[in-house]
Each structure stands twice: as C-alpha cells, then as structure tokens.
Amino acid sequence: MKNSNRLHPLVITAILLSAFYWSYLGLTSQTLMVHDSLSYKNFGTMLLEDGWKEYLTTGPNREPLYPLLVALSMWIARLQNINYLDVQILIQIAILLWTQFALAQAIKRLHISDGISIAVTAYIGFSPALVNSGLVLFSEILTYPLVLWLVKRAADALRDISSAKTHQTVFNAVLLSAACLLMTFTKGVFEVLSPLLLLPYIVLLIRAVAAKDKTVIRRVCFFICIFLIAFETPLIAYKTLNKKYNGIYALTNRGPAALYGNTARRMETLDSLRVKTAVASTSGSDNCYRLYGEACTHWEFGRSDFLASEKMIELQKQGLTPQQMDQASKRESINEIFKNPFQYAFLAVLEGSKLFFWESPQMYGMVLPDAIDAFYKMVWLGYPLRFLMAAVSLLAVLYAMAHILKIRRSFFAFIDEKIAVETNIILILGAYTGLHSFFYILPRYALPLAPLYLILIALLAQNLVNQFNKKRHS
C-alpha cells in the first residue's frame, strides 16, 4: 500500500473514461419526463419565473435545493437559447465526476490499496443505478457529493473533539451543520437524522461527567450547542415561512399523509400470499411481479396513496386546518400500529431492507442507444448484479459494525480516520433506514447511501486482502 495522497494513474484513467462514456450517453440518450421528474421541472420553472414567494405560497413543496439547481439550468439555457435538459444533464454528469473523484480521495485517506480503489472507481463508471441517476431528473444525484462531504465533516469533527482548540471546535461544528443543512434541503429525512450524529458526543459527555473531566465537558457541550444553533436556525426560519404562507410549520408536507397510508396498508389482513409478495418486493417490485404477478400490487405505492387520500378527504370534511390534519394523521397512524405491533414491525423491517438493494437491473426513465441498452439488459447485469451488490453491502455494514463493537472500550481513547468514518457511516445508514422503514421505499431512495456502501465495501475488501496476506506470510 502507498501512503501518497496522489491518486493512482489508473484511478484518474477510470475517471476520464467515465467522463467520456457519460458524455456520450448524455449526447445520445433521451431523458423522459415521468413521475417526480415532472414536479421537479414545474418547481424549477416556478422558482425561475415567479421566485421564492410563489414557491413558499404554494407549499409546503419539495425540498428546495434540487429544484433550485433545475431553475439554474433553465436560466443558463435561456441565456444560451438551448434546451434546459441539456444543461441539467451536463451539470449532473459533472456531479457524478465530482462524486467519483471525492470517493476515490476518501478511499485513499483510509489507506485502501490502489487495486481496490481502481476497482471501486471503475465500478461507479458503469453502475446501472448511478449512471442512470445522472441522466434523469431526480434529486438523488445531488446527494452523492453532499453525503460524502457530510461523512468527511462528521469524521473530522469526531476525530478532533478530544483535542481541538476553541476555534477548531467552532469550525468543525459550523461546517458539519452546513453539510447537514445541504443534505436536509435535498432530502428532508436529514432534518431528523442530522441531530442523531451527536450520539457519540453525548456518550463522550456522559463519560466525561463520570470522570469529572471539566475540559472535555466544556468542549463537547460547546460543540453540541454551536452545531444545533447553526443547523436549526436556518431550518426554523424556512419552516416559519411555510407556517406564514401555508399554515404548516414543516420543511415539506408529504410525511404525515404518507405515514398514515403506509401504516393503514400494513395493518390490513395478511395471508400467505401477501407475506410472500412482501418478502419478494424487498428486492424490487419488478422482481415480485416476475414471481407472483398482480398480487404484488398490494405493496405498490398506489394502495398506500389511496388510503392516505381517503383519510385526508375525511379529515378535510371535519373542517380541520392543514396543521391539525397532519397531527391527526400521526395520531391515527400510532393507533393503527398498536392494533398489531408485531405485524407492523415485521413489515417495517422488510421495508427497510429494500435500502440494501440500491443497484438496479436496468436503466429507466430514459431512451438509450440500442447497443448501450442491450449492454445494460445483459443477463449478468440484471438481477444477479442487484443481489450481489445487496449481499456485499450487507456484509460490509456488518463488518463495520463488528469493528466498532470490537474497539468499543477504547473508542474514545484514540479515534483515527477509519473509526470516525465507519462510525458516522453506520449512524447515517442506521438512522436513514430506520426513518424510511415507516414509509414506502422506492428503489431510488437507496441511492444516497450508495457512496457510503462503496466506502464500506472497500474497507471490507482491504480487510480480506490484509488477512489473506497475513496468512500467506505466516
């Protein structure tokens, strides 16, 4: 292994070849406007034409960062008199390249061998799910570099907390809050997830109180306060604007209704076929339909959306305000869960397991050149790749958890880069999975985790290589 910070020439080659390949796809493919893509287009248009007041007045709408990126593409396209989609896809290809480079650097900092780094970088270049996300109008593409930056900021802050001076503590807390805010304004789940990254600091604080270490107590309390102020203040301001213009104090307004719809569907009577289709759906609805046909419809979003719509109409007829409807939806959901908590927990675990199946068997939402389309429809690039990457991702997560548990007694004695990265990735993966398990998970919801899975896979691969070399030389 080399300790140089320079990337291996083959890593750079893989990035350049990926840039060429993605540019070719961007020039020869046709992006289709389907499902949420249409809403992102409409919100981008709204921001460009009518500004933020209209966006807030008609809300609460989607998290604003990706629509703002679409609006930027539209503005550039208008200046150049070209199609905004061409600009948007060009920007998204640049984001993919940024992600590839940032991931290669992250792996290098963890002292992963050049061979593994080359393999991971090259994989990003042709991964069906990741390549697809760069060529369609969905917000997941924006999360890749942001989640990598979030992990870096979280790892640096955790590594430095025991020895950092006041100015470094402030610097780490503010940058971590900035990374969390960017993720929150792209994926709203990070509004709840981000404060959970403080768990290691709370444990450290408890230990410091027990040891009567006033220096550590002051440093940790100071860090937590700075982070919460820097993170919550802009978030509260945005939610207050939604309250002013829409009567709902929230970042977005999709949660309560979606929570009720999914809860009500899960509480419906289970028979053997529904259990089988629920299990099959974890690896993708397309896989379920191949095995059980139309019986899989029950676990699609249509059923939960229908139940949510019925409940919203019922609550509207009661004359409730939007805020009261949200609160009523949450109460009704809790009541449904307690009717059969074991059934709910079983189905929630199945739902959460979908996030390991982040790889896709084929490209969607776009029309590819015939030769490329045939390549992505090859048998070995279909379901075998999806299941292989899910299995490897699961093993990598289990390895990281085992490593953290192994050194738990000395965790705060010496926090190096690897421990800090593993800890924060596991915290993000655990919280993201737990929070999403309450809702219906589309395959693309797993994509923000893909860069994190790849880091853990690289660490697992390096550990296996080290063990093999150790046995060979023993």
Secondary structure in 3-state letters for 412-464: CCCCCHHHHHHHHHHHHHHHHHHHHCCCCCCHHHHHHHHHHHHHHHHHHHHHH
Neighbours of 438 (CB within 10 A): 19
Averaged pLDDT for residues 363-377: 87
Q: Which domain holds residue 121?
A: 9-267+300-473
230-276 pLDDT per residue, tens: 999 999 999 999 999 888 888 987 788 889 999 999 999 999 999 99
Confidence of residue 383 (pLDDT cuts 50, 70, 90): confident
What pLDDT is recorded for position 4? Answer: 59
Is residue 278 a part of any domain in this protein? no
- The pair phi, psi for residue 30, each rounded to 5°, is -115, 120
Is residue 4 a part of any domain in this protein? no
Is residue 285 a part of any domain in this protein? no
161 pLDDT higher than 70: yes
- The pair phi, psi for residue 70, each rounded to 5°, is -65, -40
Sign of the dihedral through C-alpha 187, 192, 198, 199: negative
Is residue 208 a part of any domain in this protein? yes
Average pLDDT, the chain: 92
Is residue 273 a part of any domain in this protein? no
2 pLDDT higher than 60: no
64 pLDDT higher than 70: yes
Evaluate whether 257 touches 329 at the Cβ level (below 8 Å): yes
Is residue 287 a part of any domain in this protein? no
Q: Which H/E stretch holds residue 224?
A: helix 214-246
Evaluate whether 257 touches 248 at the Cβ level (below 8 Å): no
What pLDDT is recorded for position 411? Answer: 78
- Choice among 273-277, 357-361, 375-379 with the minimum mean pLDDT: 375-379
What pLDDT is recorded for position 1? Answer: 40
Is residue 292 a part of any domain in this protein? no
Please state, for a pLDDT cut of 90, what percent of the chain lies above it. 72
DSSP one-letter string for 324-367: HHHHHHHHHHHHHHTTSHHHHHHHHHHHHHGGG--S-SS--SEE
Confidence of residue 277 (pLDDT cuts 50, 70, 90): very high
119 pLDDT higher than 90: yes
Question: 68 to each of 42, 52, 375, 470, how far by Cα in Å?
Answer: 11, 10, 34, 51
How many distinct structural domains can be found in the chain? 1
Q: Which H/E stretch holds residue 209?
A: helix 199-211
CA atoms within 13 A on the CB side of 402: 10
Q: In this structure, what is the dihedral angle of CA atoms 462, 417, 414, 158, given to the nearest 10 degrees?
A: -140
- Choice among 33-37, 97-101, 195-199 with the minimum mean pLDDT: 33-37
68-98 pLDDT per residue, tens: 999 999 999 999 999 999 999 999 999 999 9
Helices (H) and strands (E) in the chain, counts: 21, 2
Let me know how long the chain is.
474
Evaluate whether 89 touches 274 at the Cβ level (below 8 Å): no
209-224 pLDDT per residue, tens: 998 889 889 999 999 9
Is residue 295 a part of any domain in this protein? no
